[in-house]
Amino acid sequence: MADLVLKSATLPDGRVADISITNGVITHIGSSGAAEQTIDCRGRLCVPAAIDVHVHMRDGPQAAKEDWETGTKGAVAGGVAAVVDQPNTVPPMETVENFAARVRRAGEKSFCHYAVNGSVTESADLAGLYRAGALAFGEMFAAPSSYGSALTPEVIRSALAILADQGVLTTVHAEEVKPDEVKPGEVHTLAGHAASRPVSGEAATVDLVNSLAPADAKLHYCHMSGTASIARVMMRQRNTFEVAPHHLFLSWEEHDCADTRFRMNPPLRTKAERMDLWRMFDAIPVIASDHAPHTIAEKAQDFASAPSGVPGVETMLPLLMNEVFLGRISLAAVLEKTVTNPCRIFGLTAPAVAVGSRADLAVYADVPVTISAENLHSKCGWTPYEGMNGLFPETTVVGGTAVWHKGEFVRGRTLWLAGRGKSSETEY
């Protein structure tokens, strides 16, 4: 008897079949027998669940914004079965002790698989964090952002050399801040914020980091916001990059220029720059949410004081799947950018709708709905995508358990996705 059967599901290749799951693994695709739980998926598309390789799950002293439970509930309700947490936490992931405490906390509260990156700072214990199980290192800040200070070229060069020797991936936050180029008063608007952190500065920082990196360094550039800077990333063969949904779906021109909810780093760009990203969509290897929640009260401060960042882990896949529904992009492209490529780049085994695969699956509804913050699960309580359409999953299976099904959550068997440097003696 199977643990779970997804009955009459439409597979990515168009076939309709039952998917039988036992002990967290897909054991049969075809006609099914008895099962502890059977979910009717007739008329529903079943695909591998996504991994979001760029989230800030907050927790600890920042738990008012988000915590591991609320953030990962949002993930699974949005079709995401695994998340990679960024290290600019409070306290930061500079020490093995801080790292171990964060892994333990995630293990206690997470509703999906999880990984934690190690910090890249002047004082970070890079070797110790590698042995402790950091999946990757960074985002490494080449420009200041929320809870992240810019590193000097000397620190960047030294860190990249150490990490290249270990063969580990380094993820990079590439920006250049140019407030002197903004007219007085304009830094208090979305347009001024964009001008103070231009795409040209993003490109220049990519060039700088590339020049500081050893030939064998593996670099992954986070949340690239413009085609000019992406072109600089692609000039180095070992580089990869990601684009965030907000740079694909939002622009500062389409919103009130003083609305701090749309303040983020890198900033929103013009509609023309946003459409340029869509025109090169096929060349984008990874889409990641940069889920960075802040409370409504924090965002209600004056523009100069309001923190940068927006929530997005729950809406990333629904926004993309709505584009598939409309026929603007292919399902294969979405799966490539949110499942296959990110897992390959980060050294993980990608789930698949195939016998023997870990059962991380998302079953999507057949009709999009209007995105509303009241129906989402982030503790921060708002979304920049309010009123837009999204195609949400009715069911998300994580490790063989239907952790999200028609509005209800249960906890299943979640995995810590440790990096390959993890010592066999490391247990949390």
CB atoms within 10 A of CB 317: 30
370/243 Cα distance (integer angstroms):
23
Token look-up 């110790």 returns: 128
Give me the active site residues, please: 290
245/50 Cα distance (integer angstroms):
14
Per-residue b/e over 390-412, b at no fewer than 16 CB within 10 Å? bbbbbbbbbbbbbbbbeeebeeb
Phi and psi based region of residue 104 (left: phi greater than 0; alpha: psi -120 to 50; beta: remaining): alpha
Taking CA atoms, 119 is separated from 87, 123, 156, in Å, by 5, 9, 12
363/72 Cα distance (integer angstroms):
17
345/341 Cα distance (integer angstroms):
6
Taking CA atoms, 84 is separated from 35, 220, 350, 357, 416, in Å, by 32, 13, 14, 20, 10
Residues 6+ apart with CB under 8 A from 77: 314, 376, 377, 392, 393, 396, 404, 409
* Phi, then psi, of 260 in degrees rounded to 5: -70, -15
Q: Give the pair of three-digit tokens for residue 141.
A: 């800040």
408/361 Cα distance (integer angstroms):
16
86/202 Cα distance (integer angstroms):
20
111/283 Cα distance (integer angstroms):
32
- Provide Rg for the chain, Cα atoms: 21
